[in-house]
Structure 1
Amino acid sequence: MKTIIHKAASRGFANHGWLQANHSFSFASFFDKEKVHFGALRVLNDDIIAPKMGFGTHPHDNMEIITIPLKGVLKHRDNIVHDQWQEVVPGEVQVMSAGTGVQHSEINGSVDEHLSLFQIWVIPNKQNVSPRYDQKHFNIKDRDNKLQTLVSSIDEELEGTLKIHQDALISRISLTKDNNFSYSLKSENYGVYVMNIHGEFEINTEILQTRDAIGVSETDSFEIKPREDSEILFIEVPMLKI
């Protein structure tokens, strides 16, 4: 089993006043040649956005973009289907296939509460597809001590998940203390990036605390041992070389 440890404090950080951004991988002004990507996972940004602030209209192309609000209200607008603001709240997940090109805006929809979210970019396995958007609510109780899959490949018949153009799986689990969990990968050609949303757990003798992450590859499974109640995000992707 191969592992890569990314401690929370080692992430890139940018303070824009209205935006506090933590970058697990090279992004914008943050560059680390050892943190350009993990397989097909290109970006994992952990953002806190001030009330009424956000990202103005900007373009993307040929990227699968997944947004997971953790706290607050995200408002989204695009040139695909949403010419009016669309709310995305904790418990929901948003996906957007940029494909041939999309313009969108994202803002904090609250006037007094900060917005906290993860934004994930996954390199697609198909270029220049028609842009598409989707979002879905997931019941928090359905991930109590069991894996809840949020996102899967558009080519895979996995019901109840949002779809992207890559053979990837994005999942969450809420583990209670001492309730061990075994994660199984698709094959040894895949890796999974494990982000500790909050809590403390152990993988392969490595202890991970809140916002620490570990990339696991070259194995078919591994054990997670929670030392306290923990919320965990899994991003499983083909281990592309780019």
Structure 2
Amino acid sequence: MIEIRRSDERGHANHGWLDSYHSFSFADYYDPEHMHFGPLRVINEDRIAGGQGFGTHGHRDMEIVTYVLDGALAHRDSMGNGSTIRHGDVQRMSAGTGVMHSEFNASEHEPVHLLQIWVLPQRAGDQPGYEEKRFDDADKRGRLRIVASPDGRDGSVTIHSDASIYAALIDGAEQAALPLQAGRRAYVHVARGALTVNGEALAAGDAAMIVDAAAVTLEQGRDAEVLVFDLGALNG
């Protein structure tokens, strides 16, 4: 079964310096039908104006993955980490027992466009942690490249959850497929471009929620950049 959610069905908040679309309930956007999908809790598509960002604030018991689409994001945290991530970089921060951090556009003039993803951990109270890896376009061209996983396999960042995240660039005749084990579900988020997912046409910002399927198939892409989540169950 596949359920499609279109880009314009997401929550939206424009604060001037921040233009954000919420795939799941977040902040002032509440949608009881879209609280989470398995352990996937948040996908926020954020555009942050030059010189702006999120001042120091706290998180706990959440796996936070940041995927930059355009521009650069500067990160600082209470664990002593400081870095600037760009398109191709995947950052993982495990909030665990508690961490403080800030995120700012690294440019004073150009916007930064990113996806911030929250995944519920398998257990509470772990030690906080941080990791980042780079995945060039060639790694994702015409294939599903694992970028986050519970065991850090194939050079992915490690998230402490029953979830794996894949990224793909699909264009023209390129195809990619992800087999799903029985009882697993998949969530597909189109970051940009357009393509078909299991025969359904999706455009930028659209998502597909897939259950009881043998595989996720991506094809007929038009400059598409896609994230695919392989998820276990959590509270249904």
The alpha-carbon deviation at position 157 of structure 1 amounts to 5.8
Preserved contact between residue 75 and residue 106 of structure 1 (Cα < 8 Å): yes
Residue aligning to 1:113: 110
The alpha-carbon deviation at position 172 of structure 1 amounts to 0.7
Q: Which amino acid aligns with 2:35?
A: V
Residue aligning to 1:224: 218
Q: Which amino acid aligns with 2:218?
A: I
The alpha-carbon deviation at position 188 of structure 1 amounts to 2.5
Separation in 1, partners of 2:40, 2:174: 28
Separation in 2, partners of 1:205, 1:145: 17
The alpha-carbon deviation at position 103 of structure 1 amounts to 0.5
| Partner residue of 1:132 out of 104, 129, 147 | 129
- CA change 1:159–1:180 in 2 (3 A) is closer
Cα deviation digits, residues 205-234 of structure 1 (max 9, x gap):
421111111111122213223252322111
- RMSD of aligned C-alpha atoms? 1.4
Residue aligning to 1:30: 29
TM-score by length of 2: 0.95
Preserved contact between residue 152 and residue 163 of structure 1 (Cα < 8 Å): yes
Cα deviation digits, residues 168-187 of structure 1 (max 9, x gap):
111111112133322212x2
Residue aligning to 2:184: 190
Residue aligning to 1:101: 98
Separation in 1, partners of 2:85, 2:218: 30
Residue aligning to 2:201: 207
Q: Which amino acid aligns with 1:52?
A: G
Separation in 2, partners of 1:54, 1:228: 31
1:113-192 aligned within 5 A:
113-153=110-150, 156=151, 158-185=153-180, 187-192=181-186
- CA change 1:104–1:180 in 2 (3 A) is same
Preserved contact between residue 177 and residue 230 of structure 1 (Cα < 8 Å): no
- CA change 1:157–1:231 in 2 (3 A) is closer
Long gaps (5+) in structure 1:
none
TM-score by length of 1: 0.93
- Across the two proteins, how many residue pairs are aligned to each other? 236
Identity of aligned residues (%): 39
Preserved contact between residue 188 and residue 217 of structure 1 (Cα < 8 Å): no
Q: Which amino acid aligns with 1:12?
A: G
Q: Which amino acid aligns with 2:230?
A: E
